[in-house]
Structure 1
């Protein structure tokens, strides 16, 4: 369903009589986004999309403030259609989301640096240091990898607390997706399934799945509005960048950001201390 299919109040005449398509679409988008983003009033009641709820589960989620029963798989065309209506966040919403994310990143950076280095920032040499031992899959771990993991954990805890209060039911943290380039379909991978697969050959079956840190969505994680990934460069003077997939990887030669956008149909952003959202 497009915004022009949404029933409107009697005091607003049909688009083909008194409104241009462009203006009507803007009004429709406001009607849809108002309940989703938790803002007060856009000048139109949620009643104007009540009957649309029966046509699309995403609209039900917008109306009720709850997640609707939705399938765990969507094709790229369907995701793109929904995204065309919903994915553009209002400027004030985007500003609020990103301010909170940057604050969480900077807080995590400070806390880990305080614990590990007495508040100093690690040097380039410290970042490149290899730690004793191996990870569970037999790979070496650098200090930068250890610090990044600790900072990610704290940043995500911070986001969970803040977004539960600000945008309940409208975000996902570390949701795993499986994207099929050939069919253009994207589906969710549950945490239970991921845990089970991780125990088999160090998660070889999960290779190629996508795990963005934060997804802002309609109430269904497959209907993304924006995607964010925390980056903690080590040293912090390094510019935050998307991880590039190596040769032999299912997504080579793309990078993380490219794949998030292909799979979810929403713009992907990096979030980093000092750098903000570059």
Structure 2
């Protein structure tokens, strides 16, 4: 059984939690039933570099590769029904494969039980509980992203972005894309307040321009597997506090947003 040592895991998680940065960030209450690694990341600094807006969970190398492909590509055709179905099939398959891969690596191929999902591995830098379900969700999210990167790079080169960061102006209705380089510079220089209220979908499908989205997908890995995961609700004081995650994506990007989970596939 290839279970990693809880002690080693806890050490890694707590070390990551100590890397939390950013002024003016809002503490968010952890849900008992965590869904995806991205959602856990957005609520918990143990999973990613903490910033004042939406947090990201993918390694910057993966995100930068997808963004570079989008910027280098010419205009693609707008997706027809067959292309939309194909993209949906790819992200659904990646969710299932990521779920299987991580369970195989860390649970000897078994699906986690409710007890395992709720097992507390420790606390993050702000004192919030870290569960095994959250950690598994993080691993599955990264595996799904690698899968999407590989499959869509062949299927739709330049026509997708992984965790692009957007800023939406409610007054002017203008959508702005914040480059990965700009984001990292703001984090490096401690100016994370400039990222407050930004949106970071997991996967955005477009025709070569990330500002003209055709579909948005967010991976959700409920633990135990099999149930629907709710869209994340933004905290009070957030620019999108009146919206859930999916509603915010659809308002800002003007494209349909879908959750993607193992077994269930893609759903609104």
TM-score of Structure 1 vs Structure 2, range by shorter chain: 0.5 to 0.7
Shift of 1:129: 2.4
Normalised to the residue count of structure 1, the TM-score between the two structures is 0.64
The aligned residue for residue 130 of structure 1 is: 120
Q: Which sections of structure 1, spanning at least 5 residues, go unmatched? A: 1-64, 69-85
Higher helix share: 1
Q: Are residue 168 (structure 1) and residue 175 (structure 2) matched?
A: no
Higher relative contact order (CA 8 A, sep 6+): 2
The aligned residue for residue 67 of structure 1 is: 74
Whole-Å Cα distance in 2 between the matches of residues 202 and 140 of structure 1?
Answer: 27
SS at match of 2:138: helix
Shift of 1:186: 0.9
The aligned residue for residue 229 of structure 2 is: 240
The aligned residue for residue 101 of structure 1 is: 91
The CA deviation string for residues 189-214 of structure 1, in whole angstroms up to 9 with x for no partner, is 11122223334669444231111111
Q: Which sections of structure 2, spanning at least 5 residues, go unmatched? A: 1-71
The aligned residue for residue 59 of structure 1 is: none
Please identify, of 247-256 and 126-135, the stretch whose mean Cα deviation from structure 2 is larger.
126-135
The aligned residue for residue 119 of structure 1 is: 109
Whole-Å Cα distance in 1 between the matches of residues 227 and 237 of structure 2?
Answer: 27
Question: What's the C-alpha RMSD, in Å, of the aligned pairs?
Answer: 2.2
Q: Are residue 275 (structure 1) and residue 268 (structure 2) matched?
A: no
- Report how many aligned residue pairs link the two structures: 195
Contact 1:198 1:204 in 2 (8 A): no
SS at match of 2:109: coil
SS at match of 2:90: helix
Q: Where do residues 64-213 of structure 1 align in structure 2 (5 Å cutoff)?
A: 66-67=73-74, 89-134=79-124, 139-199=128-188, 203-213=192-202
The runs of at least 4 aligned residues of structure 1 exceeding 6 Å deviation read none
Bigger radius of gyration: 1
